[in-house]
Structure 1
């Protein structure tokens, strides 16, 4: 899967986990290893702190993103229930509210996601022993998030900070909507005695993340490749420049094959599925600890909001 030039393409869509970075970018040390062996080798190579390399940029983005995502979901859901009674109270409301909240969170935090991707791609480039990626058109070296913002802004202004936002929105709208749709739909079928079971909440969240990620993954691949490319006519790998979502899907399919649109998906499951499961479980647990009334009880009292 990671042979020849394709392993660099794959790492673009797997920027979230340091062990996956190493496995996909160290051609001799990590490429032939599985996930568990790579984890062990990474621990020996970089120590425990190696597992959290680059985590600062991720945390800086995920905290406001998650807060906005769940807060906006509740507000959009209340608005839909109060203003669109014809939709009822079923899973369609969760689908619409989840999609709208995902789009809101992305638009508010997208520059941070762009910075995180560029910094991660820079780390991957620096790990390469080959000079193929160290040509004159290679991306600049950034010292941190501020350097990324400054450099990207100088390239194309505010618009450049939202490069790749098109496929991101096209991916997040169905992904976020499906997550809430599946999660709340599965929870609705859980017996009352098990409503507060952490294990069941984790299971429902894992299923929601697995299904949603699978359907929208090709758009995530396009987004990553748009984020790391510059204003040059060709990208860092000599391929045509990606300027739009559907054009990007077509270019990747033609130049790298349709399998590339799902390259690294199985590895991404390792991060995304437990992340979504834990996120939903923490979300429900915090609502319980904060004594927020169940949604069935909130509907009658939300008319004044």
Structure 2
């Protein structure tokens, strides 16, 4: 039985047309195939933009030694002190998070959308349904995967001098990382504040992701409505609409992302300041760091959205093709990635 399954999987990978391989693929429910496709696409996209994500977190959290540096100078400095692997610090936690996050976001979005359509037909089937379903799906996915996002941020925040070359008064950097990996982060955070500490910063995350996810789906579907029927399946069209939707949603909700990052790394900062809630975080940052800090790293966030969406759509389409996911019904919705 086991060898038969291995043969079937091998046939799936190399594209053979063996009956066993057809059976293994076809016996999977469509939603399972979509979960697999979405999770794989999310992992590919996250890894591709990991260097920009690391720099964005450093700029958002005002990591010591990077306060006054721009994106390019920050990348040069990080490369100097941590070499190439420094760009991928925390990416393991990011990928572990994005796989279930993307899968859950996609699946629950479809489920919420169907539930709304079935129970509230008066709302119609336009983009407003995508706004509601996308918002609910975003909140659901965050609640299930937030501890991994916390671990990713804490690992990315640390800048260690792996080459022993810190100079010019930068001796205050951690000579060794406080956390050595995902498991170490979970153990340390749990020991520090229990299970509740694993959700430090989840408030602004939810406040940010609910409108962001909703706006992303809403904008994507609204843009699609103005695309001619013959171009509805075009990858370029999906990429363009998805990128615009992501840019719009991200700009509106970005300050909340900054508050979230700062709350996640509070225990690692010298002043050990604490924000009681999202609103206090926003007002304190504006008062002490200036309103521009609410948009720190936004430029690099723009830079990573387009390639992320491009890679995500390409990987998702390839996975759907390999998994033989049937075309969506016209009344259904296409994920914005």
Alignment of 1:104-143 (within 5 A): 104-123=140-159, 130-132=170-172, 141-143=178-180
Match of 1:176 among 198, 213, 229: 213
What's the CA shift for 1:286?
5.3
Matched residue SS, 2:106 = helix
Compute the TM-score of the two structures, normalised by the length of structure 1. 0.77
Separation of aligned partners in 2, 1:257 and 1:125 = 29
* Counterpart check, 1:186 vs 2:186: no
Distance 1:81 1:187 in 2: 19
Distance 1:208 1:33, change over 3 A: closer
CA distance in structure 2 between the aligned counterparts of 1:297 and 1:260, rounded to whole angstroms: 40
Q: CA deviation at 1:293?
A: 3.1
Matches within 5 A, 1:49-128: 51-123=87-159
186-195 vs 269-278, which deviates more? 269-278
Q: Considering only CA atoms, is the larger Rg found in Structure 1 or Structure 2?
A: 2
Checking the alignment, whether the CA contact within 8 Å between 1:116 and 1:145 is kept in structure 2 is yes
| Structure 2: tracts of 5 or more residues without a match | 1-49
Name structure 1 gaps, 5 residues minimum.
1-13, 299-305
Whether 2:234 is the aligned partner of 1:201: answer no
Q: Distance in 2 between matches of 1:46 and 1:139?
A: 15
Pair 1:244–1:32, CA change in 2 (3 A): closer
Is the Cα–Cα contact under 8 Å of residues 266 and 272 in structure 2 kept in the other structure? no
Task: Tell me the secondary structure at the aligned position of residue 248 of structure 2.
Answer: helix
Aligned equivalents of 2:176 and 2:197: distance in 1? 14
Q: Aligned-pair distance for 1:132?
A: 4.2
**Offset, 1:57:** 1.7
* Number of equivalent positions: 275
Distance, in Å, in 1 between the alignment partners of 2:115 and 2:290 is 43
Higher RCO (CA 8 Å, separation ≥ 6 residues): 2
Which of 323, 329, 337 lines up with 1:294 in the alignment? 329
TM-score by length of 2: 0.71
- Output aligned runs, 1:260-275, within 5 Å: 260-275=293-308
Counterpart in the other structure of 2:13: none
212-221 or 180-189: bigger deviation: 180-189
Alignment partners' CA distance in 2, 1:83 and 1:91: 17
2:129 and 2:280 map into 1 onto residues whose CA distance is 32
What is residue 4 of structure 1 aligned with on the other side?
none
Rounded to whole Å, the distance in 2 between the matches of 1:208 and 1:147 is 36
The alignment yields a C-alpha RMSD, in angstroms, of 3.6
Moved more, 288-297 or 262-271: 288-297
Select which of 112, 135, 151 maps to 2:188: 151
Give the 3-state SS of the residue equivalent to 1:242 in structure 2. coil
Q: Separation in 2 of the partners of 1:100 and 1:42?
A: 39
Compute the displacement of 1:53 (Å): 4.2
Q: Could you report, residue by residue, the CA deviation over 1:186-223 in whole angstroms, capped at 9, with x for unpaired residues?
A: 11211111112111111011001100110000000000
Question: Does the C-alpha gap of structure 1 residues 280 and 180 become closer, same or farther in structure 2, counting only changes over 3 Å?
Answer: farther
Contact persistence 1:242–1:248 (CA under 8 A): yes
